[in-house]
Structure 1
């Protein structure tokens, strides 16, 4: 795995380098935002995962995330931040981060998050390839279709009442697909962490809530809300009774 850690605290980077070495990962480090963008842009397709500190000299973490997403829509990004406010977490996710870890963090926990996110990205890529084969065989562009909704893993597009749901991040798309391909099935936050993030023990349920919040905002721009909260349990997708 080729990993880029963007962290201005060199002692943290040096500590993590030992853990990366133990995992036999090809680890690279950037200590400010400009250096991070320069390293990533040299070969965007070569990186497997990015860990990105929020507070950086030069370009801050939010700006770096924006520039990385302009170059790659799919490389997994874990944002590292000392801030623990919902607004910062939601903003980071909106700008394209797939997950966040709040400082101070355990190196073992971060390693587990990196492994889970990388494994999930590989599974998604394999699933996309499988979906493409199924689509080609069936001569259909959409692998998820419900009463008023459809989405394609091949083109990474989603439509509600034939109106596109725009600007979905990779993780929002995966979350929406998980819910929509099982309409009216209720998923707990723990189940969604395992299915979408592949976290069994290191997940944070706030990650699910923050992604659901942003996903709902994007859906509501084109039509009625189809992601419903089942209080005390979790979330479900249901467009059977919605009207345009």
Structure 2
């Protein structure tokens, strides 16, 4: 089970995975005080499901977790969305795990016990570095598809595809994680603001419109694969299509 606090998609969303409730309560309070949304999972399995569901901006990950171990959860996070920053929460005696985590690609670590002020400063620092890195990566490519994030344009085989704002956001979300399967709910969370009247049928209709527009350029090209009972992902057949 996981809990979400102060849900607004416009603010940075932090996922805290820690089984020590007294620590989690303090961290959640301090992060909310500094303008962050927070989701909390108390074990590794719930943390993985929460990560898949909400696509957080940053993860605070305790290494000593019940259920799925912290390092294994870290590996799963990096498989799903490698660009997501992760700060590891460790005990003083976990140096070997901490070193391994940093070697695996963790962005920072903080040892328990820590001050709330230090934690918030670390979170802000990692997010600042991540924004600089992500700003440089404004061109997303997958086979014949190319998304210029800064210019807000998507091309298919070099030709611009005229998309609405929400159609563009759906394609951008899929292109950012080309190997990931998105549920309809996950796409709604990623694309639409809280309170926007939208349901599963609206996502399905949006996908149909996107397909028509791409297939008007290349009749044989379906950019999105439907995973029945799950949702959608980019069509894997496009990965090796150079045209």
TM-score under structure 1 length normalisation: 0.50
Q: Secondary structure at 2:73's aligned position in 1? A: helix
Q: How does 1:52-201 map to 2 (within 5 A)?
A: 52-129=61-138
The structural deviation recorded for 1:83 is: 3.6
Q: Secondary structure at 2:19's aligned position in 1? A: coil
The structural deviation recorded for 1:85 is: 4.9
Q: Which runs of 5+ in 2 are unaligned?
A: 1-11, 142-147, 149-243
| Cα deviation digits, residues 86-115 of structure 1 (max 9, x gap) | 422221113331111111111100100000
The structural deviation recorded for 1:127 is: 2.5
Correspondence for 1:37: 48
Matches of 1:123 and 1:98 in 2, distance apart?
14
The structural deviation recorded for 1:40 is: 0.6
Q: Is the 8 Å Cα contact of residues 76 and 121 (structure 1) preserved in structure 2?
A: yes
Correspondence for 1:20: 31
Matches of 2:137 and 2:111 in 1, distance apart?
31
TM-score under structure 2 length normalisation: 0.50
The structural deviation recorded for 1:125 is: 1.1
The structural deviation recorded for 1:129 is: 3.2
Total equivalences in the alignment: 130
Q: Secondary structure at 1:50's aligned position in 2? A: strand
Matches of 2:128 and 2:80 in 1, distance apart?
21
| Bigger Cα Rg | 2
Matches of 1:85 and 1:98 in 2, distance apart?
17
| Cα deviation digits, residues 180-215 of structure 1 (max 9, x gap) | xxxxxxxxxxxxxxxxxxxxxxxxxxxxxxxxxxxx
Q: How well do the aligned residues superpose, as a CA RMSD in angstroms?
A: 1.9
Matches of 1:53 and 1:76 in 2, distance apart?
14
Matches of 2:91 and 2:100 in 1, distance apart?
14
Does residue 8 of the first structure (1) align with residue 10 of the second (2)? no
